[in-house]
Structure 1
Amino acid sequence: MKPKVATSNNAPVSDEKTKKAHENWIEGIDPSLEVMSAIPLVLSTPVKLLAENRITDKKHLFVRNIQDLDEGMTMEPLPLEGWVIELSGLIMPYRVLIQAKDLLDMEQVEYEMILQCSGNGRNNFGGIKGTPWDQGGVGNVRFTGVPLKAILARYNVQVDPQVKYITGEGQDAAMGLEKPDFEHSIPAADVLDRGILALKLNGEPLPGIHGGPVRLVTPGLFGTMQIKWLTRLRFETAESANFYHATEYRVPNTLLKPGEKFKFSLENSRPTWDIRLMSYIFEPLPGAHLKAGPVSIRGVAYNDGKAPIESVLVSIDKGKGWTPAELQIPDSPFSWYEWKTEQTLKRGTHEIWARATDALGRSQPLDGRIFWNPNGYEWTGVFKSGVTVE
């Protein structure tokens, strides 16, 4: 089921084109998701939908395709029968073919985790080309699948100690002759520690639009590293020189001034691997009109799972004063932490801020533009919600 959407670039679509796109919507996706791009398909989740449930429903989950797979443009699962995943590179035996249907017979594990586009929040940097993400490229979901390390053991695969990266490829094809095919390299230590070949999303067979029937999932990493429609894993000593890995999905190793020119290379930049520390305000949402007096403020915070989040501070006076919020510790370090507090607001306009800090001492900068980069990746600035009190 291929969406008959009305634009062929990554520019925001007009109201007329959005209306036309919704007339040919993919059945099962909430029509209130915002069309960011038609080809490849990119849909953004309104923050108010993220606030509805702890686990983001598949119908509300954002969609970020770098390349489309025609048969994957559906909320239905794709068949496992006939789907093959190849392992190759510095392994013994040097090439292994795995029938995806055989994964169903293996023990599976479940991760509650953040799925987030590395460009989420790009608009906050200002004036950067690319998909104009606000804050709708994130969700908290449950992926279930077979650990890669268990698959290697099942098929008696020995990994060469020299292997530093595992490069994933999907069934999706390049979007035109001038475009390269998509792939990403991930640190082998991370994938072997917690990577899974995911078969389910939120307890149900993985929908085609979200990478089914098999998706490489490694909790704690940005969504671009969670390879959709997985067909091949290469075990290698060096990062891929592919455009999307060596140039596109990277941030400079040093701070840049806004607008500064930068030519990316494997040596002067790093991939967008680990999710950055972030917080959201779910209540009140930006633009809300409130009554003067006690106001409930709640939201979520998350990071890469490498250290627990220790605090979320809330300010109602643009950072002049801060109040600790009540923080709920989740079972999974890779999911979001729910928090809440109550503040008294007087009449007028207010900007509520939320700022998270974790056990490694990492904290959200008051102005996230300090990490400006020409690709607009890894926004981690303090979340701000402007409200009117009457």
Structure 2
Amino acid sequence: MLAGHRITDTHTLFVRNIQDLEEGLTLAPLPVEGWEIELAGLIKPSRLVVHAEELLEMEQVEYEMVLQCSGNGRSQYRDIPGIPWNQGGVGNVRFRGVPLSAVLEKHNVTIDSQVKFVTAEGRDLPTGRELPDMEHSLPVGDVLERSILALELNGEALPGIHGGPVRLVTPGFFGTMQLKWLSRLRFETSESTCFYHATEYRVPLSPVKAGERFRFTLENSRPTWDIRLMSYILDPEQGATLGTGEVTVSGVAYNDGKARLESVLVSFDEGRSWQSAEFETPESPFAWYQWTTRTTLEPGVHQIWSRALDYLGRSQPLDGSVYWNPNGYEWTGVYKTEVTVS
């Protein structure tokens, strides 16, 4: 469903909720009226309530961006618990909303110089007594530079299932950091100690062996903030049967938006040789690049690989399992698909 579409249709976009807002389990928008977002912490004034209706009257910006679950590709790792995501937890969408920096300026909010993080809370509730409510901390610099209070998705009012009526969106970050049903922002000197931020959505700072036990702390791990460099082959699909002759191979590639992609390479001989694909750089650094290349394949079974490189020198490893981690996050290995030519 991702092939051939620059923008992923809202009705086919993946949904991943750790916790639910009962009235938000719908593709219909939730009413903006009466929705409030509290700002608190090391700011002056120390507490501010923003009414969502006022956001509708402010100037808005739009980001075309990749929205990806940090567990996308988890099934490529071995011995990992959790939802066995393959490669479908990703899409390219357009979010529109009001920059948080503009809201702060409008209300003359000043931020203490000691603040390092902004912790976002949603209105959702814990799904069980044993787990806390979900919240995430983001670096204050990134938040002030590009976070928006999103009101629209793909040109329409933000659906409840995707975090409406207001969602904190920070392009370049994984989906879990795009907090749904935004109700509160705390300006703080340290990261949240919430289970979901301090333990669950983290990866170790140093490599660990596959299957090794690891006890997460704020000191020995980092949050799943920045999207990793990745490419996908969308056409032909895995397991496709093709006729002999020229074959067109196409897909998408993207990163965290910190540097342009330098190239997308495609191999038809399991990495022994590579050819460059053609692509156009999107206007938004946070959007995915659509690429295509052509070759002629003889009858038989073939593996097709794709690999992206960017101008920071980053590339997809041939074996993504070198980044094995106990939560199965941030898969970034070379994409491989198998087809049959008859």
1:199 maps to which residue? 151
Structure 1 runs, 4 residues or longer, greater than 4 Å off: none
Where do 5+ consecutive residues of structure 1 fail to align? 1-48
Deviation (angstroms), 1:179: 1.1
Deviation (angstroms), 1:293: 1.5
Structure 1 residue 306 corresponds to structure 2 residue 258: yes
2:21 maps to which residue? 69
Structure 1 residue 108 corresponds to structure 2 residue 60: yes
Deviation (angstroms), 1:127: 2.0
1:212 maps to which residue? 164
So what's the TM-score if we normalise by structure 2?
Answer: 0.99
Where do residues 309-348 of structure 1 align in structure 2 (5 Å cutoff)? 309-348=261-300
Deviation (angstroms), 1:214: 0.0
User: For residues 388 and 119 of structure 1, what CA distance do their matches in structure 2 show?
Assistant: 29
What SS does the aligned partner of 1:209 have? helix
1:14 maps to which residue? none
Structure 1 residue 149 corresponds to structure 2 residue 122: no
Deviation (angstroms), 1:256: 1.1
Where do 5+ consecutive residues of structure 2 fail to align? none
What SS does the aligned partner of 1:115 have? strand
What SS does the aligned partner of 1:161 have? coil
User: For residues 267 and 276 of structure 1, what CA distance do their matches in structure 2 show?
Assistant: 21
1:227 maps to which residue? 179
What SS does the aligned partner of 1:114 have? strand
Deviations 1:249-293 (A, max 9, x none): 000001111111111000000000000000010111111000122
User: For residues 113 and 237 of structure 2, what CA distance do their matches in structure 1 show?
Assistant: 50
Structure 1 residue 374 corresponds to structure 2 residue 326: yes
User: For residues 78 and 338 of structure 2, what CA distance do their matches in structure 1 show?
Assistant: 18
1:357 maps to which residue? 309
Q: Which amino acid aligns with 2:63?
A: Y
2:211 maps to which residue? 259
Aligned-pair RMSD on alpha carbons?
A: 0.5
Match of 2:221 among 256, 259, 269: 269
Q: Which amino acid aligns with 1:136?
A: G
User: For residues 151 and 204 of structure 1, what CA distance do their matches in structure 2 show?
Assistant: 22
Q: Which amino acid aligns with 2:88?
A: G
Match of 1:129 among 81, 86, 90: 81
1:46 maps to which residue? none
Identity value in percent: 67
Deviations 1:307-356 (A, max 9, x none): 00110000001100100001211000000001110011111100100000
Q: Which amino acid aligns with 1:383?
A: Y
Q: Which amino acid aligns with 2:306?
A: A
Deviation (angstroms), 1:141: 0.1
Deviations 1:358-384 (A, max 9, x none): 000000000000000010000000111
Q: Which amino acid aligns with 2:91?
A: G
Deviation (angstroms), 1:248: 0.4
User: For residues 144 and 377 of structure 1, what CA distance do their matches in structure 2 show?
Assistant: 27
Q: Which amino acid aligns with 1:318?
A: E
User: For residues 65 and 100 of structure 1, what CA distance do their matches in structure 2 show?
Assistant: 23
What SS does the aligned partner of 2:56 have? helix
User: For residues 361 and 64 of structure 1, what CA distance do their matches in structure 2 show?
Assistant: 31
Q: Which amino acid aligns with 1:230?
A: L
Deviation (angstroms), 1:52: 3.5
2:189 maps to which residue? 237
2:40 maps to which residue? 88
User: For residues 258 and 347 of structure 1, what CA distance do their matches in structure 2 show?
Assistant: 37
User: For residues 90 and 65 of structure 1, what CA distance do their matches in structure 2 show?
Assistant: 30
User: For residues 328 and 128 of structure 2, what CA distance do their matches in structure 1 show?
Assistant: 24
Deviations 1:185-231 (A, max 9, x none): 00010010000000000010000000000000000000000000000
Deviation (angstroms), 1:161: 1.1
So what's the TM-score if we normalise by structure 1?
Answer: 0.87
What SS does the aligned partner of 1:64 have? coil
Structure 1 residue 140 corresponds to structure 2 residue 130: no
1:168 maps to which residue? 120
